[in-house]
Amino acid sequence: MTDQTRSDQERLMDGIYWYGIPTLFRCPHDADPAQADIGLVGVPHSTGNGTTQRDQHLGPRAVRNVSAIGRRVHDQFQLDPWERCRIHDLGDVPLSEGNNNERAIEMITDFYRTIDAAGCRPVSIGGDHSITGGILQAIAGPDATLTGGEKACLLHFDAHTDAFHNVDHFMGAIKSAAHWASYLATDGFVDAEHSVQVGIRGNVRSLEWLDPSYALGYEVIKKVDYDRLGPDAVIDVIHERIGDRPVYITFDLDCLDPTVAPGVANIEAGIEGFGMDQVVQLLHSMRGRNVIGGDVVCLMPTVDSPNQITSYRAMAVMFEIINLIADQL
């Protein structure tokens, strides 16, 4: 039964999150990416963070538990993504060696190679930010289907650049949440010269702390730059850098202000972060671009507010990325 033939009552019930099987956005669970145009994936990994805040592996389950309420149509795009294309919950990456970060990154890459080979565009919920490295090693670069063998550009929302190749490891994790934006560029998976890191904020650990990101070629738009330039000027920079190249959207929830999204790791509270309307405007600016996939990371359900607001924020960002992709198909 398609959404077109479903009754309004059935659609209403699908949006009630507290009953039934909690798949992502109430989508069918089908582990075969060949059967989907967009594959929704959970990545329950947290040993790439390197700190004591390791509950990020609980993020996928938290979003599954609430995301049925996000099975909506997109008002601004006038789009029903669930009708437009096949969107399935592919399940979680099986991380039987999840306490070994380097092995876990390999397992993530292996999982997403199957998705890439099928031509399915993944939208993922993590998990700490190291998962982006594992994902893009599979879906970008010379052997990738989704980029046509090209490097991917990044639209990277974050309070931190995660490009710190100036340190050898992050408390033992090598392909860590602090390193993925660096090694993906140096290893040929990401085109840093045509990528943008936006929302960076806070007092850094040294006056040279952003130099590694600049050296790789990233355009860094700090939150104070956004406030000074305004959204239209920032969107112009993003469009000029990315153009019509294949782009991957990675969204660290800590780019949002703590009053908006309290349940995150590595929280930055000293300088006001983004509000939801601001990030949604930036995301909407990618409409019509070649979005090959995206992820939402660093959700910490164990420190979220009682109403699970950060899980809802994660769901809302996933919804926007899903619609950007569905709008192209």
What pLDDT does residue 40 have? 98
At the fourth CATH level, the homologous superfamily of domain 3-326 is Ureohydrolase domain (3.40.800.10)
Determine the Cα–Cα distance for residues 313 and 253; give it in Å rounded to an integer: 8
What pLDDT does residue 49 have? 84
What pLDDT does residue 179 have? 81
**In 10 A of CB 66, how many CB atoms?**
18
The identity of residue 271, as a single letter, is I
Determine the Cα–Cα distance for residues 308 and 234; give it in Å rounded to an integer: 31
The identity of residue 166, as a single letter, is N
**In 10 A of CB 246, how many CB atoms?**
22
Determine the Cα–Cα distance for residues 23 and 66; give it in Å rounded to an integer: 9
What pLDDT does residue 1 have? 41
Identify the residue whose tokens are 């993020």: 59
Residues in the chain: 329
pTM of model > 0.85: yes
Q: What are 28's two structure tokens? A: 């069918």
What pLDDT does residue 169 have? 62
Determine the Cα–Cα distance for residues 43 and 128; give it in Å rounded to an integer: 9
What pLDDT does residue 98 have? 84
In terms of C-beta density within 10 A (0-12 exposed, 13-18 middle, 19 or more buried), how is residue 231 classed? middle
Bridge partners, residue 296, by sequence: 125, 251
Determine the Cα–Cα distance for residues 149 and 28; give it in Å rounded to an integer: 30
Contact 231, 277 (CB under 8 A): no
Q: Rg for the chain (alpha carbons), in Å?
A: 18
List phi, psi (to 5°) of 107.
Answer: -65, -35
User: For each successive 10 residues of the chain (329 residues), what is the average pLDDT?
Assistant: 61 74 94 98 88 83 96 96 97 91 94 98 96 97 97 97 73 71 96 97 78 94 96 98 97 97 91 97 98 97 96 98 97
CA atoms within 13 A on the CB side of 169: 9
Determine the Cα–Cα distance for residues 182 and 161; give it in Å rounded to an integer: 9
Determine the Cα–Cα distance for residues 198 and 187; give it in Å rounded to an integer: 22
The identity of residue 264, as a single letter, is V
Determine the Cα–Cα distance for residues 309 and 203; give it in Å rounded to an integer: 26
CA atoms within 13 A on the CB side of 157: 28
Q: How far from 109 is each of 144, 212, 268, 313, 323, CA to CA, in Å?
A: 12, 25, 30, 26, 24
Q: Assign residue 72 a region: left if phi > 0, alpha if psi is -120 to 50, beta otherwise?
A: beta
Q: What are 225's two structure tokens? A: 């730059």
What pLDDT does residue 172 have? 56
